[in-house]
Structure 1
Amino acid sequence: MKLVSANVNGIRAAARRGGVEWLIAQEADVIALQEVRATDDQLRAALGPLADWNLLHSPSEVRAGHAGVALLSRWPIEPTGALGESDDQGRWIAGVTDGLEVASVYVHTGQAGTTAQDEKHRFLAAMGKWMEQRPGAVICGDLNVAHREVDIKNWKGNIGKAGFLESERAYLDEWYGRLGWVDLGRRFGGEGPGPYTWWSWRGKAFDNDAGWRIDCVLAGPGVADRCRGFAVGRAATYAERWSDHAAVVSEFVS
């Protein structure tokens, strides 16, 4: 199974920039999307030939044009339910396809010292509970948390800020420690720094590789050793970018 995960930063804008053509060229079996920002009809229209695939989509029901996650597969997908009590924010969708449970996640950005940060912590805690119950699953998506200093270029400048708070990083410590989940980007990417997956559109962040590694594929202890490869689909040049995120690509064997 070849699995591609991408924060598209709006599927309609990504499609106009060539993102759908890029996804098609990967010859993936399963595609996880985040920040779709579209209705069901808008998503299918933007996907072009991919609209014929089996599709699960969770748009935001509380803020139109915001968030939204989706799963596409060449095979049938059986949805496996919400994360926690609510799935109306378009941040989580999961299903079983070809015998593997896959989730697409878009974690809140958060803001230190606000209720938005409290909500982010609750979401990360709910993810941990889900992961503990599903050691044979895979999670793909935008965590909006850089785990360690090697996962963010300007880590000193982001101490105390959302995305690099010790309280956020502690959840990832638990996932990769006590729960035994594996961050495939780090396993295959070495000790770092990077490889980064998000760069601001502004300034020279992309050209200087001043990024964050927040787009991940996480594998439960029961399935991690089935992964045979992982890569970051970084655009060759700024002009070729179709999102402010790079897609991540992983391959699993049966």
Structure 2
Amino acid sequence: MPDTPSPPLGIATFNVNGIRAARRRGFESWLAGRRLDVVALQELRCAPEQVGAFDGYHAAIDCGSVPGRNGVAILTREAPAAVRTWVSHPPRTRDLRVYAHEGRYLEVDLAHTPLTVACLYLPKGGLPAHLQRPGNMRDTPDGGAKYDRKMRFLGAFARELRRNRRAALGAGREFLLLGDLNLAHLPHDVTNWRPAQKMEGFLPEERAWLDAQIGPRTLVDVVRTVHGDRPGPLSWWSWAGESFVKDVGWRIDHHLATPRLAKTAASVTVDKGPTPGARLSDHAPVVVRYAFR
């Protein structure tokens, strides 16, 4: 008899904006209903002992040591073959070590699939000093300090990302970076992209950084490739106003995969809640099915 094809590998990235709050809003029901193989979570925003268990999953977790901030996790159906955090395995890029305690990056090798999965929560950043105008900003002007910090992180992480991708390939594994990158890449990724060009997350230099990380021989933007050259799919909407109802948002939650893995992507779904009251977070899970085993 011919071999039965393996079912697609269901993988999601989801910024929960506080795992305890997401659970109160129905996260467990979503997780049980989706029956995914791998789920990368960002912004746990709690201490390790407050994260709790995830029924049916093994959880690799790095909450960091900044109270109530950041925190990443990767859930897998089977215990991973290896887990690496920036605490257990300090970044080889020295400029990233200052972020090691913040709970921003986690990496696992799947046990029975030749795949390394990484989860990243990238700093939100801010505006450069020359774009800061008191009275026209949500945050207090800081002279560009948050912007400078984010750009330093991006420069250092580009080197680390390249090393980690090559290490996975050298070990016979594909590589997949999941997470909230706090960056939108193309005009199709932002509802009102023209004014967004002067907003953090869509600044020309931020977009240029992401552009440099992706390419046909390095990492592929899986969601954009599958969805096509058209608006969306958005994954973040402000809590304020009617952004959610009017679908005014950004695509900042990403699947960046090595080319061989990316070619197997069969579908993309963003689990946007049906109503504002049904939202699990200000983000929505981004689910990709990969025909890869």
Which residue does the alignment assign to 1:80? 84
In the alignment of these two chains, the number of paired residues is: 249
Q: Give 1:177 shift.
A: 3.1
Q: Distance in 1 between matches of 2:123 and 2:199?
A: 13
The answer to whether the aligner puts 1:41 opposite 2:41 as a matched pair is no
Residues 142-183 of structure 1 deviation map (CA, whole Å, 9 limit, x = unaligned): 010111111111222222221011111111111123753111
1:132, 1:179 within 8 Å by CA — same for their partners in 2? no
Per the alignment, do residues 236 and 153 of structure 1 end up closer, same or farther by CA in structure 2, a change over 3 Å counting?
A: same
Matched residue, 2:106? 93
> Which whole-Å CA distance do the structure 2 matches of 1:100 and 1:130 have between them?
18
1:29/1:178 Cα in 2 relative to 1: closer, same or farther (>3 Å)? closer
Aligned equivalent of 2:59, options 51, 55, 62: 55
TM-score by length of 1: 0.92
Give the aligned residue type for 1:155. Answer: W
Residue 27 of structure 2 corresponds to 19
Is residue 2:121 matched to residue 1:117? Answer: no
Structure 1 residue 18: deviation in Å? 0.3
Classify the secondary structure of the residue corresponding to 1:88. helix
| Partner Cα distance (1:97, 1:125) in 2 | 28
1:6 counterpart = 2:2:
no
Q: Is the 8 A contact 1:92 1:104 kept in 2?
A: yes
Structure 1 residue 24, shift from structure 2 partner: 1.7
| Structure 2: distance between partners of 1:164 and 1:103 | 23
* 2:179 aligned with 1:141: yes
Shift of 1:220: 1.5
Aligned to 2:158: 128
Asked whether the equivalents of residues 34 and 69 of structure 1 are also in contact (C-alpha less than 8 Å), the reply is yes
SS in 2 for 1:117: helix
* 2:117 is aligned with 1:107: no
Q: Secondary structure at the match of 2:44?
A: coil
Q: Larger radius of gyration, structure 1 or 2?
A: 2
Match for residue 180 of structure 1?
218
Structure 1 residues 178 and 249 mapped into 2: Cα distance closer, same or farther (>3 Å)?
closer
Q: Distance in 2 between matches of 1:39 and 1:194?
A: 34
- Cα gap change, 1:178 to 1:74, in 2 (>3 Å): closer
Q: Is the 1:131–1:179 Cα contact (8 Å) retained in structure 2?
A: no
Q: Which amino acid aligns with 2:35?
A: E
Deviation at 1:57, TM superposition (A): 0.9
**Residue in structure 2 matched with residue 226 of structure 1 by the alignment:** 264
Letter in 2 for 1:123: F
CA contact (8 A) 2:62 2:85 kept: no
Q: How far off is 1:3 after superposition?
A: 0.9
TM-score under structure 2 length normalisation = 0.80
**Which residue in 1 is equivalent to 2:72?**
69
What is the root-mean-square deviation of aligned Cα atoms in Å? 1.7
**2: CA distance, partners of 1:234 / 1:222:** 28
Q: Which runs of 5+ in 1 are unaligned?
A: none
Residue 245 (structure 2) pairs with residue 202 (structure 1): no
User: What's 2:40 paired with?
Assistant: 32
CA–CA distance in 2 between the matches of 1:95 and 1:216?
Answer: 17
- The one-letter code matched in structure 1 to 2:147 is Q
Secondary structure of 2:127's aligned partner: coil
Q: Deviations over 1:21-75 (max 9, x none)?
A: 101211011111000111222111xx4525xx222111131x2010110111111
What residue identity is the alignment partner of 1:162? Answer: E
Task: Decide which of 207, 224, 237 is 1:169's aligned counterpart.
Answer: 207
Match of 1:215 in 2: 253
Identity %: 37
